[in-house]
Structure 1
Amino acid sequence: MKTNKFLLPTALLFVLLSAFTLITQADKGFKPMFDGETLNGWEGDPKYWRVEDGEIIGEVTPATLLKANTFLIWKGGQPANFELKVNYRISVNGNSGVNYRSIRIDSLPYALKGYQQDIDGKDKYKLGYPRYSGQNYEERGRQFLALRGQKVTIDKGKLPHITDSLGTKEELLKSINYDGWNELHIIAKGNKLQHYLNGKLMSEVVDNDTLNRKLNGLIGVQVHVGPPMKVEYKDFMIKVLK
């Protein structure tokens, strides 16, 4: 069989595409959070986190099942107003998320409390599609703040109040790639928190609860208790907003 000498090896093509993504985002004011080779600048349990082929890999195996969720925590600051973008791919049974404006839980190693853009695999509870991806879930806090498709307002000491719809379940699911890569995008500005997947707004929270909200904090990624799972992250970028 003849081969085309001008075809690039898959690994090299991946590196070039990732480099192009980083350059493009840098032109828009985004800065990388991950060097693509090491976990320098991050902190987590190496039993669950590693770098492979330019990706942050979080993996739970049958031999390393969790009793509590654990995080890989970014050590680059505790931003208040920002935009964050990252591409992810998650296994069928996966459950993960990107936490932000979070605080540490001292009683557990690498545990966070705070807002989370939730992501999950397509077999979550055997539904055949991601159940939670895009929602706003407050880890170890008020829990479900906005489900996928909801705009909500949260007043002091009260439950979230739905103010508008962002679309039906069927419409929003069309924006999620069940079997491949997705772009996750968080915009946190003041008390307004927006979660996007592949350019589609999935949930929005206006948090007026001055007792419980956070206006700055840590950023981290999660592997979850439950069955074995794998999540991959690449092209981690942040733009701090004034």
Structure 2
Amino acid sequence: MKKVIVAAFLFTLGQGIHAQKGFKPLFDGKTTVGWHSYGKTSAGAGWKVEKGVLHFDPEAAKNGQGGDLVTNAEYENFHLKLDWKVAPNANSGIIFYVNENPEKYKNTYDTGLEMQVLDNEGHHDGKIEKHRSGDLYDLIKSKSEPVKAVGEWNTAEIISKKGKLTLILNAVIVVETTLWDDNFKKLIAGSKFATWPGFGTFKKGKIALQDHGNEVWYRNIMIKKE
């Protein structure tokens, strides 16, 4: 019986390793190395590392110790994968193609596109179309809502390759679109970002985890070049 259990464990482990082949960790589970708060050189104290989890604590983020957390590196064609969960009534987001130029762009979302992270039922944004979990924020409503209950872990994936964008939530494709073409420009023109110069125009940029003033957790953050 022990041999069977061990064999099953090794098989499962092997599957997990195979599934993550080609991915590199963006978060080491121990520190915020590789990340910093937008426009700064290090991560604010609001971003805590706790037992392999990156936790945004709004209380610790007071006095300028918060801000969106961004990668040091920029990415062009990529497959990003991570787990997230939110506290009741919380809002956050995974923002990508961020052009970090704080003198010109005050916020990550001035340039970057966002996959929404939200308590759909508890936060007021959940009442707004294209603002719910899994949506390409304010641009495209997700095809379905496979999001889990508040406090449970969700797995999000963002795949961008040569202009083709796919958003996946809990193994379900929720958004598919083509970036930067005429149709995409029409989507921006019909959104809150219509008059924002630079929004959604960069084809290479940083990845950010949003400080929206609410408690949120991220883990297993990894990326693969496409």
Common fold: TM-score over 0.5: yes
Structure 2 counterparts to residues 33-182 of structure 1, below 5 A: 33-44=26-37, 45-61=43-59, 64=62, 70-75=67-72, 77-107=73-103, 111-112=107-108, 113-121=111-119, 122-125=121-124, 132-137=132-137, 144-149=138-143, 172-173=144-145, 175-179=146-150, 180-182=152-154
Q: Aligned-pair distance for 1:214? A: 2.2
1:70 Cα deviation from its structure 2 partner:
2.6
CA offsets 1:32-59 (integer angstroms, 9 cap, x no match): 1111101111102523211111111112
Higher strand share: 1
So what's the TM-score if we normalise by structure 1? Answer: 0.67
State the aligned residue count: 187
Equivalent in 207, 220, 226 of residue 219 of structure 1? 207
Answer whether contact 1:57 1:230 (CA < 8 A) is retained.
yes
Secondary structure (helix, strand or coil) at the match of 2:83 reads strand
Q: For each residue in 1:13-34, what CA deviation from the matched residue of structure 2 results, as whole angstroms up to 9, or x when unmatched? A: xxxxxxx699626752111111
Q: Structure 2: 5+ residue runs without aligned partners? A: 1-12, 38-42, 186-197
Measure the CA separation in 2 of the matches of 1:114 and 1:126.
19
Q: Does 2:171 match 1:199?
A: yes
Match of 1:240 in 2: 225
For residues 27 and 84 of structure 1, do their structure 2 counterparts lie closer, same or farther at Cα, with a shift above 3 Å needed? closer
Alpha-carbon deviation of 1:100? 1.1
Moved over 6 A (4+): none
Paired residue type of 2:123? K
Matched residue of 1:176: which SS? coil
In the TM superposition, what is the alpha-carbon distance from 1:111 to its structure 2 partner?
A: 3.1
Contact 2:136 2:175 in 1 (8 A): yes
Q: 1:80 to 1:25 in 2, by over 3 A?
A: farther
TM norm structure 2 = 0.72
CA RMSD of aligned residues (A): 3.2
1:7 alignment partner in structure 2: none
**2:31 match: secondary structure:** coil
Distance 1:49 1:74 in 2: 13
Which of 101-110 and 185-194 deviates more?
Answer: 101-110
- Opposite residue 178 of structure 1, the aligned amino acid is A
SS in 1 for 2:99: strand
